[in-house]
Amino acid sequence: MPKLLSIVLASAVLWLGSNAFAGEVTLLNASYDPTRELYRQINAAFAAEWKTQRGDSVNVRMSHGGSGKQARSVVEGLPADVVTLALAYDIDAIADRGLIAKDWQQRLPDRASPYTSTIVFLVRKGNPKGIKDWADLVRPGIQVVTPNPKSSGGARWNFLAAWGYALKQPGGTDVTAKAYVQTLYKHVSVLDTGARGATNTFVQRGIGDVLIAWENEALLARQELGKDKFEIVVPSITILAEPPVAVVDANVDKHGTRAVAQAYLQFLYSPQGQEIAAKNYYRPRTPEVAARYASQFPATRTFTIDELFGGWRQAQAKFFSDGAIFDQLEAGG
């Protein structure tokens, strides 16, 4: 009996201690929540290409979480070789700590965001509440689901899209925009902490009339959970969401993985990478790929964060810092 026990224990220790992925280059990609499906395919395709080109195996590990939380984790020492986050501000936060070069946004094309998305509405089948545009969200009795901009990067895009819509209306000013957004957030029934949580609230728990969501998230939810249950409404004007990517300089230099990390991010801009992005409901940058997926991504008027808000740092300070506009709205001011 003791002999048997020791054999069992010994083999258990061996099994627990064994490493399933030995002898290959490993990259860690710290990303935000809704990119799980995208990067699963990107990683497989990139590994295949790297193998044929260089003959080396590369294994890309993923870490997913809220965009801001991921940025903080990298600052706290998460050994990510690349970050692929929801907004430039979060990468700026890592750059401020000296882990990424300040000019990261100029190191890759298109302000370092290889794919884009936009903010749309997900409504229930048949659009029973007749929601067509931003103005419909603040009609009496409409319940809106969107995550909390304080904790969710995705939700900040939602907030700015709404603000931008109000600003672009005839006679729109910061005052009218603030009034519109304040009314909008009074219609919010559940303020989840993250984008995926908000989607689950709307889709799985059946709460709310409309979910303000990233287009990729809305398309994916509809694909995964039933085309016959939800419809996507593209508003008249919305924001161009540009999720950025960057190599974490301090970490790749420590790991000796700069070349493969750079190739990994370049791969996102390649025809194959763009195709995978489009398949996963992100709008590709390459016109040829975009043309093939035109029916999936209806044309709409968009504005960028730089045009309307002077970039993320300014938008963050004006709207989302402690005591800024979002806090004032919450406090009822």
Residues making contact with another protein (CB under 8 A): 12, 15-17, 20-21, 28, 33, 36-37, 61-65, 73, 75-79, 97, 196-197, 200, 220-221, 224-225
Minimum distance from residue 140 beta carbon to another protein (Å): 33
Indicate the residue among 242 and 249 with the shorter CB distance to another protein. Answer: 249
Report d(CA 306, CA 297) in Å as an integer.
22
Minimum distance from residue 125 beta carbon to another protein (Å): 18
E-assigned strand segments in the chain: 25-32, 58-65, 82-84, 115-124, 144-145, 188-190, 210-214, 230-233, 237-241, 245-247, 283-284, 301-303
Minimum distance from residue 218 beta carbon to another protein (Å): 13
**Count of all residues that appear for the chain in the document:** 333
Indicate the residue among 220 and 289 with the shorter CB distance to another protein. Answer: 220
Indicate the residue among 11 and 328 with the shorter CB distance to another protein. Answer: 11
What contacts 196, CB < 8 A, 6 or more positions away?
A: 33, 34, 217
Token pair belonging to 49: 């290409």
Beta strand 144-145 with 115-124 is: unpaired
For residues 50 and 58, the answer to whether their CB atoms sit within 8 Å is yes
Indicate the residue among 97 and 186 with the shorter CB distance to another protein. Answer: 97
Indicate the residue among 21 and 206 with the shorter CB distance to another protein. Answer: 21
Amino acid at 58: V
Minimum distance from residue 160 beta carbon to another protein (Å): 24
Indicate the residue among 60 and 177 with the shorter CB distance to another protein. Answer: 60
Minimum distance from residue 306 beta carbon to another protein (Å): 30
Report d(CA 139, CA 130) in Å as an integer.
11
Minimum distance from residue 265 beta carbon to another protein (Å): 19
Amino acid at 233: V
